[in-house]
């Protein structure tokens, strides 16, 4: 496919960059930050103009927290999560102010860190699992990436075409604000553009394994909400949960 044929414009220039990362979600940003640690320059192209502002993932497991720690970001990620003393229980309710059906009890961040500090050296987890919404963590990652010279952020732009030309990958990036197209030539193009990945589809790579509709968990539609409130609606439960699931007709709501 000719460069620019999907966007209808003639791409500007063809500057060479080592790596183009398509997608500035958590995976793309972490890759760019990790590459920068090894002094490898990258360009991150992301359709949205900034980090996402709606809720998505919430749980950062110990290994993920260790990656943040290596980049010096673990404390900042902890700071945008639930308050240190807040339980991280997952509770299931009939309604937000209704009856509690079930609960998976889990310690607060403070309790987890205390257990780490008093644990035996051999079984220490340096960074226990943490709950912080992805939209807040992405803001931390993006802000940090803005200050890293080896990372060029092209937010508000989309990868609309690419071709492997043996000695380089030619990438066409379209400016979402109507600024036309730019052509980049890179050694590696990395698709970090999410589950519906344009890069993956263009390369004809499919998924393997169970489809989501075959799974008991994650099947059907789901609504994800994020609520920040001074006062929590009164429920039959006395202990707050870090994450709540509610029963709504024909869908899951969390």
Ligand X SMILES: Cc1cc2nc3c(=O)[nH]c(=O)nc-3n(C[C@H](O)[C@H](O)[C@H](O)COP(=O)(O)OP(=O)(O)OC[C@H]3O[C@@H](n4cnc5c(N)ncnc54)[C@H](O)[C@@H]3O)c2cc1C
* Chain residues in the site for ligand X (CB under 6 A): 22-28, 45-48, 56-59, 134, 158-159, 192-194, 198, 222, 224
76 vs 193, which CB is nearer to ligand X? Answer: 193
Q: What's the rounded Cα separation, in Å, for the pair 45 and 48?
A: 9
Six token digits for residue 82: 């639930």
Nearer to ligand X among residue 45 and residue 145 (C-beta): 45
CA 232 – CA 248 distance, rounded (Å): 20
* Residue among 132 and 235 whose Cβ is closer to ligand X: 132
- Return the DSSP state at 190: E
Q: Indicate the residue among 205 and 222 with the shorter CB distance to ligand X.
A: 222
Helix (H, G, I), strand (E, B) or coil at 169: strand
For the CB of residue 120, give the shortest distance to ligand X in the complex, in Å: 28
Residue 29: strand pairing partners: none
**In 3D, which of 191, 190, 192, 174 has the Cα closest to residue 182?**
174
Least distance to ligand X, CB of residue 244, Å: 13
Q: How many beta carbons lie within 10 A of that of residue 160, not counting itself?
A: 20
| Nearest Cα to Cα of residue 145 among 76, 191, 82, 83 | 76
Tell me the residue number closest to ligand X, measured at CB. 25
> What's the DSSP call for residue 212?
G
CB of 161 to ligand X, least distance (A): 10
Nearest distance, CB of residue 122 and ligand X, angstroms: 27
CB of 26 to ligand X, least distance (A): 5
Q: Which is nearer to ligand X, 119 or 176 (CB)?
A: 176
């Amino acid at each position: 496919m000719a460069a620019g044929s999907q966007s209808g414009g003639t791409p500007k220039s063809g500057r060479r960059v080592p790596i183009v990362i398509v997608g500035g979600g958590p995976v793309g940003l972490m890759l760019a930050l990790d590459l920068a640690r090894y002094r490898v320059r990258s360009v991150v192209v992301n359709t949205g103009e900034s980090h996402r502002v709606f809720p998505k993932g919430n749980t950062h497991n110990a290994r993920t927290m260790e990656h943040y720690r290596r980049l010096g970001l673990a404390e900042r990620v902890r700071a945008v999560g639930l308050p240190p003393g807040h339980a991280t229980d997952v509770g299931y309710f009939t309604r937000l102010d209704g009856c509690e059906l079930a609960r998976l009890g889990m310690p607060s961040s403070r309790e987890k860190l205390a257990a780490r500090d008093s644990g035996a050296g051999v079984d220490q987890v340096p960074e226990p699992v943490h709950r912080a919404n992805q939209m807040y963590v992405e803001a931390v990652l993006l802000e940090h990436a803005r200050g890293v010279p080896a990372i060029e952020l092209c937010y508000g732009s989309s990868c609309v075409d690419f071709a492997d030309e043996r000695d380089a990958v030619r990438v066409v990036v379209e400016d979402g604000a109507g600024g036309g197209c730019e052509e980049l030539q890179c050694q590696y193009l990395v698709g970090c553009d999410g589950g519906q990945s344009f890069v993956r589809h263009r390369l004809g790579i499919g998924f393997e394994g169970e489809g989501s509709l075959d799974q008991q968990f994650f099947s059907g539609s789901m609504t994800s909400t994020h609520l920040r409130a001074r006062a929590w609606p009164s429920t039959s439960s006395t202990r707050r949960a870090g994450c709540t699931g509610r029963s709504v007709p024909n869908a899951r709501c969390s």
